[in-house]
Structure 1
């Protein structure tokens, strides 16, 4: 069984790396360094730890009275906050010399988050499911959960950059509104997932791809007035 679990983890990793390459090559004008994108991918692991810590703390304090509340409210907010917090760290902000670069780095962070989350699911359910069921779970999470994570965080980072650039919001203000913008899509997918509606979940994924495209176009439209360098803006830490 260990071999089966490891093989699924390897497949998930290979798929994640392919998605990472797609993200990199989507930046057709000026591709980011692969090692920097890989670092953003690893930052996604840290985001997963932050999100898990927040969720555990809320559960410990007894704020989340039901599992539904955790899945629909707490998890989307905690996870999107963690991913966006990592995406807007000074290290990555300094690399965003084009507005659409924000989408590239945020997508890589979200990809890393989704990858490590998928690995945890594979390991956790390896003792409960048959191998065929585990393969099915792995495939579903690869093709459904990863796009959702990327799409939700893409929406959030687009709102963040837009508010920072157009309205001169400070980091905290923009981050709060970015999380508020990203969490609903995440929550909608979680709701469809727990109800077992694969069709609705697939529709949400398709809409998510549309959302990513819209976010990309919106950020590109800001390019003529994009102020550089972003790290030198006031109130940014």
Structure 2
């Protein structure tokens, strides 16, 4: 028998009710098998990719003339520290409903290990086959301009597809597609840069410095630009209830990413040293592409904030949220305010629950318009209960 001052713990499968709120029974997770299948596929891809990377790295060390191992250490020192800046940028852009850290880590590792491992096998085989038949220059051209764009964007894109299909609750639309694609591409670029910097280091410090300036300063966002086309495609598929859009958008996004990647690789490979005459205008053109892309991302993030606000207004009318709470959830610096203020982690959880509620209602409304069903509908009532619980926790710790 419980002491009078103790409250019974919630039973499994239930959300503990608060005074004035009905108990909400949570249904068994209908996505559990799908999520577990995705986790196993991800783990097997990571393991296989890691093995392939190690094998090719060892072959490179054994077959190189000179201290390739030491050069790869230097390459890693130049490739990985800048990630602290690169990875910070997308996290500060998506402020309204940031993706879980473990999802971002999975995306990064997929790009760094699985995508690089499988891509290097394909590119190496294509290069060797074409070079044997048509000569080394043609092998380099085909590998860089055809094989690399198709293979690399395919394997990076499969990482985005994994979140779209196996982790549907963590994939809401275009912004999420771009964020996952960016983390996957930055992981890929980091490992790729180790090889580029290592080869440059073996040619001298001047070559290494020039390679770092080009790849690490001017063009670190090209891989994210290419792969984000696939991310946008899957984002459009997530936001649409039309079957043809759900099929055509990811394919079209992938092909656009391949085309951009191929164009970037083609001219430097085809022209070789003559590329120096047009290199600066060529680089400035691509920097304009990247700048425009970032502008589009910011506009999409702002749109996401509007979606969240629009689908929480009726929660204020129903009394589930106050106007101040609505403003907190919709503020682009709401999480920072909670971190620096008295709300702390509880406040950040409140903001996340509010954003998830809005996006779940958004998905449900779109599905209803298309006469479809969505998993998001099952999370509306539990999220409202979670918001009520978090409000009670915030009230208990509010300054007097």
TM-score range relative to shorter protein: 0.7 to 0.9
- Tell me the TM-score normalized by structure 1: 0.80
Cα shift at 1:7: 4.9
Determine which of 148, 151, 160 is the counterpart of 1:78.
151
Give the stretch that moved more between structures: 194-203 or 54-63: 54-63
2:265 aligns to what? 190
Larger Rg, first or second structure (1 or 2)? 2
Specify the SS of the correspondent of 1:56: helix
Unaligned runs of 5+ in 2: 1-66, 270-274, 308-358, 368-372, 377-400
Contact 2:72 2:197 in 1 (8 A): yes
The partner residue of 1:44 within 94, 105, 111 is: 111
| 2:102 is the alignment partner of 1:28 | no
Judged with a 3 Å threshold, the aligned counterparts in structure 2 of structure 1 residues 174 and 59 are, in CA distance, closer, same or farther, namely: farther
1:217 to 289, 296, 299: 299
Q: Please report the RMSD computed on the Cα atoms of aligned residues, expressed in angstroms.
A: 3.3
Residue 121 of structure 1, CA deviation: 1.0
- After superposition, the Cα gap between the structure-2 partners of 1:172 and 1:117, relative to the gap in structure 1 and judged at 3 Å, is farther
**Superposed displacement of residue 59, structure 1:** 3.4
Query: What is the distance in 2 between the residues matched to 1:150 and 1:38?
Result: 16
Spell out the pairing of 1:31-180 with structure 2 (5 A cutoff).
Answer: 31-45=98-112, 46-62=114-130, 66=138, 67-90=140-163, 93-127=168-202, 129-166=203-240, 167-169=242-244, 174-180=249-255
Offset of 1:79 from its aligned partner?
1.2
Cα shift at 1:162? 1.4
The answer to whether the aligner puts 1:227 opposite 2:341 as a matched pair is no
State the Cα deviation string for residues 18-41 of structure 1 (Å, max 9, x = none). 110111111111222334323321
Q: Give the Cα separation in 2 of the matches to 1:39 and 1:132.
A: 35
The structure, 1 or 2, with the larger RCO (C-alpha pairs under 8 Å, 6+ apart) is 1
- SS of the residue corresponding to residue 146 of structure 1 reads coil
Q: How many residues align?
A: 232
Unpaired runs of at least 5, structure 1: none
User: d(CA) in 1 for partners of 2:213 and 2:102?
Assistant: 27
Paired residues of 2:111 and 2:156 also in contact (CA < 8 A): yes
Q: CA deviation at 1:108?
A: 0.4
